[in-house]
Every structure is written in C-alpha cells, then in structure tokens.
Amino acid sequence: MSVESQPAPADKALRVREMFARIARRYDLNNRLHSFWRDQAWRRSAVRSAAVQPGQAVLDVACGTGDLAGMFDRTGAGRVVGLDFCEEMLELARLKFAGRRIEWVRGDAMELPFADGSFDVVSIAFGIRNVSQPRRALEEFVRVLRPGGRLVVLEFDRPRGRVLGAAARFYLDQVMPRTAAWLAGDREGAYAYLRDSVKAFWTAEELAGEMVRSRLSDVVSRRLTLGIAALHRGVRP
C-alpha cells in the first residue's frame, strides 16, 4: 500500500486538528481504557529504544498531552521539546507537566521549526499516520537529527493470525469507535477516523521500508502486544 499515492483531502490537516481539539479532554482516558493500559508500556519501550544519554536533546513530534515527552524528561536529557499542531493538546500537556523543563511548541511535523542537526533523538508515537505527507515528515525528522541520532516511531499495526486478526478487526471496527466516542462525548466520528487511519496506513514492514528510504541506517522493528503496535528505530548516518 502506498499512503501518498492515494489522494488525501486538501483539508486533512485542518480536519485532524479540529478532531483532536474536540477529544483532547478525554484523550488520555480513552488511550488507557482502549489499550487496556498498554499504551504507557509501549511508550516506555520507545524511551528505552531511544537510548538517551545524559545531556542529549530530544524532540517528541505529535506529542499530544505530553506522556512520551514526560518520560523522556526523566532520562537525564538536557533538552526535551514536545511539538504538536493542536493547541488544545498542548494546553493539557503544560498543565500535566507544570514545573518540568519541557518546551512545548506548536508546529507542523512536515515543517519543523528547528535548524538542521538540532536533536539527538526524534520520536513520534501514534502520530505519523495522521500526517498528510508522512514521507515528507520522515525527511524532516532526519533533517533535524544529528549524525548518530535516533528516530523512534511507535505506531499501530495489524495483528497476524486468523483468530487474533479477526478479534482485532472486530474490536477496531465495532467496539472501540462506539465506546471511545461515548467516553469523549464525540458525535462527529473522531474515533471512526482513527480506526480508518490505522487500516489505511503503512504496515509495520512498509513503515520500516520508508525509514530506510529516508536514508536512515540500522532500521529495526519490533511488534508489541501480539502485533497491535510496532516500534521502529533508525539511525541517521
């Protein structure tokens, strides 16, 4: 599947930003409940994969309410920046992590407001499928990485196997959109979009291939929790 070969609506960025603004207040609760509290474990795996050294600079793209950036802030990093294009998400992140030395920046994953080679680690968790042009975003991630810097991508995948795959599809198609919409008080289809975006996006193998295409080296991928999610890591030469 080629994500960018399919015509994306011209207003995708606006629609996605408005969607996340609507569900921001219940975003964390929905994440916990509908991942059965595994989302935090997945983020901890991403932090370990990043191998942050004391004093290094970390950029978390599509940071949402700040969970992953908050974890990076406890690694001894010298600088942690959380970037998101949804101000409502950033407002919650600032409240959750008040007093921390995390920089919260509103910005676009496809046009990062940083100079070349600014960071030792760039991460994005469950956000790259929401970007209008994910290949362009990958190029931006590589641009702002220093030589030897690591890109860590955490994203949903499709569980393999006849029984497990069928169960996952039923949960994704029938259960999650309804219960998540009820919890969030959303009547405009935000969680139906999230379901559809997972189905339409690259598989774990395709995402790893796109990271290689973006000139990252030593790309490795690992499936998490029966293949519900996948963790990818690449190094800028």
Strands (E), the chain: 57-61, 79-84, 102-106, 119-125, 145-156, 217-224, 229-235
Instruction: Answer whether residue 9 shows pLDDT above 50.
Output: no
Q: How many degrees, rounded to 5, is the angle at CA 200 between CA 166 and CA 225?
A: 50
CB 1 within 8 A of CB 202: yes
pLDDT per residue as tens digits for the range 105-141: 999 999 999 999 999 999 999 999 999 999 999 999 9
Report, as an integer, the average pLDDT of 19-38.
80
pLDDT at 226: 84
CB 203 within 8 A of CB 157: yes
Where does 3-157+201-235 sit in CATH, by number?
3.40.50.150
Report d(CA 107, CA 119) in Å as an integer: 16
* pTM score of the predicted model: 0.89
Sheet holding 102-106, edge to edge: 102-106, 79-84, 57-61, 119-125, 145-156, 229-235, 217-224
Instruction: Answer whether residue 6 shows pLDDT above 50.
Output: no
pLDDT at 44: 98
pLDDT at 140: 98
Q: Using a pLDDT cut of 70, give the percent of the chain over it.
A: 84
Report, as an integer, the average pLDDT of 24-51.
88
Instruction: Answer whether residue 165 shows pLDDT above 90.
Output: no
pLDDT at 1: 43
In 76-215, which ranges are continuous DSSP H helix? Answer: 87-96, 134-144, 162-170, 176-184, 190-200, 204-213
Q: Which of 28, 30, 36 is nearest to 97 (CA)?
A: 28
Q: Is residue 163 classed exposed, middle or buried when 0-12, 13-18 and 19+ CB atoms within 10 A define those classes?
A: exposed
Report, as an integer, the average pLDDT of 180-199.
71
CB 192 within 8 A of CB 186: no
pLDDT at 219: 98
Residue of 187 and 234 predicted with greater confidence: 234
**pLDDT level of residue 13 (50, 70, 90 thresholds):** confident
Looking at this protein, which amino acid is placed at residue 74?
Answer: R
CB 197 within 8 A of CB 130: yes
pLDDT at 182: 67
Residue of 123 and 226 predicted with greater confidence: 123
pLDDT at 2: 45
CB 137 within 8 A of CB 221: no
pLDDT at 20: 82
Domain ranges of the chain: 3-157+201-235
Residue of 8 and 131 predicted with greater confidence: 131
pLDDT at 5: 43
Q: Which of 35, 2, 234 is nearest to 123 (CA)?
A: 234
pLDDT at 31: 76
